[in-house]
Amino acid sequence: MSSKATILVGVTGSIAAYKAADLVSKLVKAGHTVHVIMTREATELVTPLTFSTLSRNPVTLSLFDEPAEWKPQHVSLADIADLLVIAPATANVIAKLALGLADDALSSIALACQAPLLVAPAMNGKMWLHPATQQNVATLKKRGARFIGPEAGLLACGYEGLGRLWNVDGIVAEIERMLKRKKKRNA
């Protein structure tokens, strides 16, 4: 089966990181080439081996990972991406993206990437509703980023409220919609 699209999946240090494994698995089953970029915090929750096995590609953990070619990895991955998905996205990563900070592999790749961006937030509800987070989300939306979620429900911290990662099937459906729109624009 030939690949439909090349999708970069950023996984951050939210407890919902385990759900990203299901997302990667479903994208690969749909015929996409998937490259996973994990923050250091995400590796405390899910191992890179899980994602390399599911994606059938090496996982990017650092700007200093050995590139497969001479090009720096944050540039080469950004160049091949049809879509960048960050799921789950923490308040920290959303802030980095809004401010244009590039101090790790994921934020550097995001800054170099010209492909559409889909952000699926997952965090404590108070963090999501904080004015700083909402301002960062508004900034990213103005730049064209698409947000899906978060959902309301029981959060890992024990609170009930807005902050849960959007359901994986819904994220996959939105990815397919975004890829379809991109393909129509490029046709």
Hey, which residues are catalytic here? 157
**Alpha helices by DSSP H, 84-167:** 91-99, 105-112, 125-129, 131-142
Report the alpha-carbon distance of residue 41 to residue 168 in Å, rounded.
21
Which two three-digit tokens encode residue 104? 């790790």
Report the alpha-carbon distance of residue 100 to residue 84 in Å, rounded.
15
Which two three-digit tokens encode residue 147? 């947000």
